[in-house]
Amino acid sequence: PGENETKVNLEELKTSVLYSGPVDPAEWVGLRKSYPLLVYLRNNLLMLAILAFEVTIYRHQEYYRCRNNLTTPVTKTIFHDITRAHLDDGLVNCVKYFINYFFYKFGLETCFLLSVNVIGQRMDFYAMIHAFWLIAVLYRRRRKAIAEIWPKYCCFLACIITFQYFLCIGIPPAPYYPWRSGNANFNSNIIKWLYFPDFIVRPNPVFLVYDFMLLLCASLQRQTFEDENKAAVRIMAGDNVEICMNLDAASFSQHNPVPDFIHCR
């Protein structure tokens, strides 16, 4: 580019995708020559094998239940005979219970921790948006109020990760982006913070992994909020009803059905 076309210095220009080496436009649409072909397709074949293995297991379970006149379990757990009543019945049963229902009990807190992890790992414009959403969710305080806004939060996560995916792809490597023109007052740090597509400072696609983990746990938590309203699930896993914060610690045994191991003396 000419001197008036961009404000990029020569050192940064050498690292640009457009000028660091020959550009094959076919790679932008996912076409690339590879040899041997089996090495190129091994990840796709592995995914197909895992999906086939999963479908085989589910079909076998369905056939086994139909042949033996068995009903489908209410909850998808490992230890079907462990319920909320077994939580305080020994350490082994306690471990089994949390293997079954850890996310049912602490899924919301796990989502909050993953949201903080996304903010700490990214430290950019989208991290600020995640922080605003975290404040909005925590402002609800009550679990029922959080459950009402949670589907909107999951929709936000799904939309923002899709939008960022297209930002990482960008446009075909031919023209310059407008924020790299001579009239734009953008430098590489601002472009990196805004997570704009660029041929010099390319968006870090690893950030999408953190967003995906948050979206995965948020989707599981949305299912948990729906399961909390089912009587059969509450009988097996217990309810998540909040205990009033104004209760005295010594009088918890009057309101809490589980044994009091702290003030039992």
Q: Would you list the DSSP string of 234-260? A: HHHH---PPPPTTS-GGGGGGT--S--
**Given pLDDT bands bounded at 50, 70 and 90, which one contains residue 261?**
low
Q: What separation in angstroms does the CA of 19 have from each of 15, 74, 176, 259?
A: 7, 59, 12, 70
Q: Report pLDDT digits (tens) over 19-68.
A: 777 777 777 777 777 788 888 889 999 999 999 999 999 999 899 999 99
Spatial distance between the Cα atoms of 112 and 218, rounded to a whole number of angstroms: 9
**Given pLDDT bands bounded at 50, 70 and 90, which one contains residue 17?**
confident
Residues sharing a CB contact under 8 Å with residue 28, sequence separation 6 or more, in sequence order: 169, 172, 173
**Given pLDDT bands bounded at 50, 70 and 90, which one contains residue 112?**
very high
With 60 as the cut, is the pLDDT of residue 253 above it? Answer: no
pLDDT at 180 (0 to 100): 75
Spatial distance between the Cα atoms of 228 and 104, rounded to a whole number of angstroms: 9
Most confident range, picked from 94-98, 103-107, 115-119, 230-234:
115-119
Q: Report pLDDT digits (tens) over 154-213.
A: 999 999 999 999 998 888 877 777 887 767 677 888 888 999 888 888 899 999 999 999
Residue/partner pairs of 110-119 with CB below 8 Å, 24 or more apart: 110/217, 110/221, 111/214, 111/217, 111/218, 111/221, 112/137, 112/138, 114/210, 114/213, 114/214, 114/217, 115/214, 117/210, 117/214, 118/210, 118/211, 118/214
What is the rounded average pLDDT of the residues 149-153?
A: 94
Spatial distance between the Cα atoms of 153 and 211, rounded to a whole number of angstroms: 13
* DSSP character at residue 70: P
Going from N- to C-terminal start, the domains of the chain cover 29-71, 79-241
Q: Which amino acid is at 1?
A: P
Model confidence, pTM: 0.80
